[in-house]
Chains A and B, each alone.
Chain A
Amino acid sequence: GAGVSQSPRYKVAKRGQDVALRCDPISGHVSLFWYQQALGQGPEFLTYFQNEAQLDKSGLPSDRFFAERPEGSVSTLKIQRTQQEDSAVYLCASSLTGLTGANVLTFGAGSRLTVL
């Protein structure tokens, strides 16, 4: 597609509920990133894929967070047993090639998760 598409745009979950956030990157983009942005803060790195391989998941805050990109295009970020501290905007970004070089990230509009 023309841009990075994320869905849902807004999600309200009850504490303990599982959620799944979807990212559809720009067609042909090799790299895909997930960031978490708490209210009033800058984005914090969660995880990175190159094609279907998850090369870095050092930013995932707990084992309740899981991401996948099985066919090297669409990615899903899953949060199990959501907690109130998971409330944030989850941003997805993609780039044409890998992390080397000044590859510009194109961001989606994010999914705002509110956990009650």
Chain B
Amino acid sequence: AQTVTQSQPEMSVQEAETVTLSCTYDTSESDYYLFWYKQPPSRQMILVIRQEAYKQQNATENRFSVNFQKAAKSFSLKISDSQLGDAAMYFCAYRTKSGNTPLVFGKGTRLSVIA
């Protein structure tokens, strides 16, 4: 079974600084998708960024970028120029590309942004 591990329960960052959230996963599949979701106190899960495993290039979305290391099964999220609105729970998630399997989530990292 696939598992997703987020080893940092909590992280904090100064406003305007950069922070990296870690995620590792375990799978025997060769092609799959990886995602980072943000969950603010309102509880609505918001997709931050996604990566397709067969793509070598790391995905970027404005201030958010990933460092995808397929051999190491690592998928970290870098947030640049952190803003107060970035404070939230961040979840790493995995899904296989084939078959009917749902998203598998990690336990999350709570990010605090200090003004």
A interface residues with partner B (beta carbon < 8 Å)? 33, 35, 40-45, 48, 55-56, 59, 89, 91, 93, 98-102, 104-105, 107-110, 112
Whether A93 lies near B45 (C-beta < 8 A) is: yes
Whether A42 lies near B105 (C-beta < 8 A) is: yes
Against A, the Cβ 8 Å flags (1 = close, 0 = not) of B1-44 are: 00010100000000000000000000000000100010000111
Closest-by-CB residue of A relative to B110 is A40
B interface residues with partner A (beta carbon < 8 Å)? 4, 6, 33, 37, 42-47, 50, 52, 91, 95, 97-108
In the complex, A89→B106 CA distance in Å?
A: 16
Q: Name the B residues within 8 Å of A99 (CB-CB).
A: 95, 99-102
Neighbour of B45 across the interface among A41, A91, A98, A100, CB < 8 A: A91
Closest-by-CB residue of B relative to A105 is B103
Q: Name the B residues within 8 Å of A45 (CB-CB).
A: 102-104
Q: Distance (Å) between the CB of B59 and the closest chain A CB?
A: 11
Whether A107 lies near B45 (C-beta < 8 A) is: yes
Which 8 residue pairs of A and B lie closest in terms of their CB atoms, listed nearest first?
A42-B105, A107-B45, A45-B102, A110-B43, A109-B44, A99-B100, A42-B107, A43-B105
Chain B binding surface, main DSSP class: loop
In the complex, A55→B100 CA distance in Å?
A: 8
Chain A binding surface, main DSSP class: loop
Q: Distance (Å) between the CB of B45 and the closest chain A CB?
A: 4
Whether B102 lies near A56 (C-beta < 8 A) is: yes
Closest-by-CB residue of B relative to A47 is B102
In the complex, A93→B93 CA distance in Å?
A: 14
Closest-by-CB residue of B relative to A45 is B102
Of B4, B44, B46, B52, the most chain A CB neighbours within 10 A belong to B44
Of B43, B95, B97, B105, the most chain A CB neighbours within 10 A belong to B43
Closest-by-CB residue of B relative to A99 is B100
Neighbour of A42 across the interface among B33, B50, B52, B108, CB < 8 A: B108
Whether B52 lies near A102 (C-beta < 8 A) is: yes
Closest-by-CB residue of A relative to B104 is A45
Sampled A-B contacts (30; CB under 8 Å)? A33-B103, A40-B108, A41-B108, A42-B4, A42-B106, A43-B91, A43-B103, A45-B103, A45-B104, A48-B100, A48-B102, A55-B100, A56-B100, A89-B43, A98-B100, A99-B100, A99-B101, A99-B102, A102-B33, A102-B50, A102-B52, A104-B50, A105-B45, A107-B37, A107-B44, A107-B46, A109-B43, A109-B44, A110-B43, A110-B44
